[in-house]
Chain A
C-alpha cells in the first residue's frame, strides 16, 4: 500500500462481538491526514471499542483496521510509536508524584520531559503531589499533559475534557487545536456536542455499534432549520428545492424543514403557505444527534445467531 496516499486511519467492515453482543458492527471509516474526527454516541455505542481496536488492544471479529497503512493488530507496536492515546479514565501510578509520572512516560517514549512539564504548568497542575492524592480532574490533567506532549502524528483522545473545570476544558480544547495546527491527526471522542462542534472537522455518530451518520462540520454550518406553524395544507417543496430540503410534519400542524444552501428560495416557498409563525435557526450538531439518537428511533443493535 502506498503510505503517502493511504488515509491516516481506515477501517473496513470492522466488527467486534462478545458472544452474541456486537460491540461494533461493520464499521467503515476514513480519517485523512491532519483531520480532526469527532466520535459521538451514547455510552455503549461502540466509540471506545473502535478506539481499542485501532490501538490493537482488541482483536477484531471481522474486518480490518489500518493506521497509516499499518495493520492495527499485526503492527500494533509500530502504530503506537506514532500514536498517543488518552484513555477515557486516566489511571496512572498512584504511588508516584505527578512529575515522576511525566518523566516515566517521557523515558518510555525516549523524549525529553520538558514539554509535558510545560503543558502541566499551563493546566495549572501541581506536579509535586502524589497521584493517589490527586482529584479525578487533576489526574485527567496529568494524562492530558503526558499524551499531548508526545507530539505523536495521531492522537486518540477519549473524552479528554471529562472531569475538568470550565477553564481547564478551554485549555484542553486549545491544546487540541494547537496539536492539529502542528499537523497531527486527531480522533476526538466526546459526549459534549459543543466541544466537537468547536474542534472537529468531521463527526462520526455511532449508534448501537454501527456508524449511523458521518458529516463534515463545515457542511453542517451551511445548514439551517426552519420551524413553522401552517394553518392549511403543506405543499411539497418545488423540484429545485427537493434535494436540499427535508420536511417533517407534526400532528399539531407544525412543519420542520432541515435545509442547506441559499435561504431565500426556501423562504419564498414557505411564504406561499398559510403561515402562522416562523422560526429560522442554524442547524446544530444537537439537531443531528437528536435525529439519530432521539426517542422513537428504530433499534438496530444486531446480535449474532
Chain B
C-alpha cells in the first residue's frame, strides 16, 4: 500500500482551487496595504472621527489604534474577501473529503483498494490543513510584501533647522510638504503574524465542521449548504450581539467572537509579551480579558474536535452506493 499516492492525488485535485484562493488572497492583501497609502492617516482620522460614535461598539480596539498604520493595515483581516477566500477553501475541501467522493462514486473504487478509511480521511484532512496553513501564510505574505514595497504619504509642516543644535523646528505657516516614507518604517509585518494564526484557526473550525458533516453525508452540496448557512448565521449573531446591548449575550453563541484580528494586532503592538497569553491581566493582576491564545484555542479546539468526530463517524458508517 502506498499512502503517498493518496497525498499526490488529493494535492493534484486541490491544486487549482488552492492556487485561485492564494492568488486572490495575496493580491488582495497587497492591494489592501497599498490602499492604506492612498489616504493619509490625517484624512482617515477625519472620516473615522465623524462616524466613531456609531462605529465604536463594533470595534474591539480604541480609536487611537485604528489611526495607526498597524491598525489600518490590520483592518484588512476584517475584510469579507479574506474570510471568503479562507472559507471557500475550508468548505470546498471539507465537503469534498467524504461526501464529495461518495457522490462522485470515487470512494467506492478507492476503498476497494488496500487503503484504510483512516488513511483516506487523514490524507484528505492533511491536505486541507496544509493548504490552510499555506493560504494563511499567503495572506501574511501579501501584507508583508505590501509593507515592504509601498510608501506612505505624510504631510509635514515646513521647518527650519537650528544651526549648531541640529534641531528641526516646524513652522506652522507656509505650505505643507508631502513626504514619501516606506511603509516598513511605520509598521512591521511581524505584527500581522498573530492575526494570521487567528485566521488559520478560524479556517480549521470551518474545515473541521465541513469535514464532519461530509463524513455523515453522501451529498456534497448539502454539506456546503449547511456550513455556508452556519457561517451566515454566525455572522448575523456577531453583528446583532455588537449592535445591541440587550443582545450582547449572543456573542457567546458565535465563533466570530473568537475571531479578533484587530485586537490581536493591537496586543502585538502595545504589549508584545502578551501575544501568547491565554488571558490578559491588569496592573493589579486582575483578569482583564481573554488573550490571543485563548481566541485561537476557542476556534482550534472545536475544529480539531470536529475532525476527530468526523473520523469516528467515517470509520463506523456504512459506505452508501454512489448517489
Contacts and interface: CB of A to CB of B under 8 A. Distances in A.
Given A77-B114, A108-B1, A91 B108 contact: yes
B114 A81 contact: yes
B2 interface: yes
Interface string A78-105: 0011011101011111111000000011
Interface centre among A105, A108, A143 (most CB of B within 10 A): A108
**Interface size bucket, B side?**
20 to 34
Interface stretch (A55-63, A258-266, A284-292, A294-302): A55-63
B322 A108 contact: no
A219 interface: no
Contact of A107 (B2, B109, B111, B316): B2
A169 interface: no
Interface stretch (B5-13, B28-36, B152-160, B260-268): B5-13
A79 to B, nearest CB: 9
Nearest to B116: A77
A232 interface: no
A30 interface: no
A110 interface: yes
A267 B32 CA distance: 97
B318 interface: yes
Contacts of B106: 91-93
Given A52-B319, A93-B9, A108-B6, A57 B111 contact: yes
A109 B109 CA distance: 12
A87 B5 contact: no
A90 B115 CA distance: 18
B109 A90 contact: yes
Interface in B101-157: 104-106, 108-109, 111-116
B253 to A, nearest CB: 35
Contacts of A87: 105, 108-109, 112
A95 B9 CA distance: 11
B321 A48 contact: yes
Contacts of A95: 12-13
Nearest to A93: B106
A80 B112 contact: yes
Contacts of B114: 77, 80-81, 108-109
Interface in B279-323: 316, 318-319, 321-322
Given A57-B319, A58-B319, A104-B5, A91 B115 contact: no
Interface string A32-53: 0000000000000000100010
B112 A110 contact: no
A143 B318 CA distance: 23
A77 B1 CA distance: 10
27 contacts: A52-B321, A57-B108, A57-B318, A57-B319, A58-B318, A58-B319, A59-B316, A59-B318, A80-B113, A80-B114, A81-B1, A81-B114, A84-B112, A87-B108, A87-B109, A91-B105, A91-B322, A94-B104, A95-B12, A96-B12, A104-B5, A104-B9, A107-B2, A107-B5, A108-B6, A108-B114, A109-B113
Interface of B: 1-2, 4-6, 9, 12-13, 104-106, 108-109, 111-116, 316, 318-319, 321-322
Interface of A: 48, 52, 55, 57-59, 77, 80-81, 83-85, 87, 89-96, 104-105, 107-110, 143
